[in-house]
Amino acid sequence: MLKHVAEGVWVHQSEFLQSNSVIVQGRAGVLLIDPGITSSEMADLANDLRDLGQPVVAGFSTHPHWDHVLWHPDFGDAPRYATARCAAPIQDLLAQPDWKARVAGVLPPDFAGEIPMELLGLITGLPAGAAQIPWDGPNVRIIEHQAHAAGHAALLIEENGVLVAGDMLSDTLIPFLDLKAADPVADYLAALQLLEGVAGEVIAVVPGHGSVGGAEQLRARLNQDRAYVEAVRDGAEPDDPRLGPSAPLEWLADVHQGQVQQLAHRGTPK
């Protein structure tokens, strides 16, 4: 089922971690961002679009993690874009003869048999520094940064006031740092500053996982994520409801402890 979040923008949410696919109305069809997660869910999404008379004319992946580079044959063969730094590691992965086994090794067991692999990762990197998605629709500004994953992109649908945040600004997930980066904490704080810089243009924020929020929720999530990252940086215990006794996902406490331990082991700059 499609949820209307702003003029010309809809969200389709998966059962897996409240994963959000975003649909943006263009002149001749729609832009499909981060479609997922299971084959049946994507087939349902394709049916919803057919019922609306809307073909998919372009796709975009916000970052190179498996759950953001999926596709389904029913979406057709529209061009699928990403930042250059997002596309590069996916292209390297697909060049490996055992890539399917590598991806299968990180899939959630409860969903692994339902996740389509055939069209995974078939994305085209845009020129380095590309500022907009090339398509016949509303201007979609690319806000590239290095938080969460190399080449991670948030997208601002300018005419509609919607910020598609990728795997940031979630009400259910804590910030997942890119622990492969030279300075994950600084990267994340810099990305939050970039997103704060466009907050005045936003009426709705769509995280990769979690609930759609309005302008007030965007501000609150920016502050909450910044407080979490700064606490990790400073060796303090975060005061974060996503980690408390009423947290919706118990395993996030383990993720948090793992991030703290890896950063301490690396001696990440404070």
pLDDT at 73: 97
Q: Convert the pLDDT of each residue in 93-107 to its tens digit.
A: 999 999 999 999 999
Q: How far apart are CA 92 and CA 230, in angstroms?
A: 33
CA 83 vs CA 48, 123, 164: distances in Å: 28, 9, 15
184 lies in a domain? yes
Question: Are 75 and 144 found together in one domain?
Answer: no
Q: What percent of the chain has pLDDT over 70?
A: 99
> Which pTM was predicted?
0.95
Residues 190 and 69 in one domain: no
Let me know whether 95 and 158 are in one domain: no
Q: Name residue 103's amino acid.
A: V
Q: Based on the fold, state whether residues 53 and 146 are members of the same structural domain.
A: no
Is the pLDDT confidence value at 150 over 80? Answer: yes
Domain that holds residue 56: 1-130
Question: Can you give the pLDDT at residue 138?
Answer: 97
Phi, psi for residue 142 in degrees, rounded to 5: -90, 120
The CATH number covering residue 177 comes to 3.60.15.10
Structure tokens at 71: 């596709």
Q: Please tell me whether residues 169 and 113 are part of one structural domain.
A: no
In this structure, the answer to whether residues 13 and 47 fall within a common structural domain is yes
**Quick one: 105 and 123 in the same domain?**
yes
Determine the 3-state secondary structure of 236 from DSSP: coil
User: Residue 11: helix, strand or coil by DSSP?
Assistant: strand
Structural domain ending residue among the three candidates 100, 130, 160: 130
Place 267 in a pLDDT band, splitting at 50, 70 and 90. Answer: low
The reported pLDDT for the residue numbered 265 is: 85
pLDDT value for 270: 42
List strands edge to edge, sheet with 140-145.
Answer: 140-145, 152-157, 162-164, 204-206, 213-214
**Is residue 135 included in any domain, yes or no?**
no
State which of 107, 130, 153 marks the end of a domain: 130
The tens digit of pLDDT for each residue in 200-250 reads 999 999 999 999 999 999 999 999 999 999 999 999 999 999 998 888 899
Between 84 and 266, name the one with better pLDDT: 84
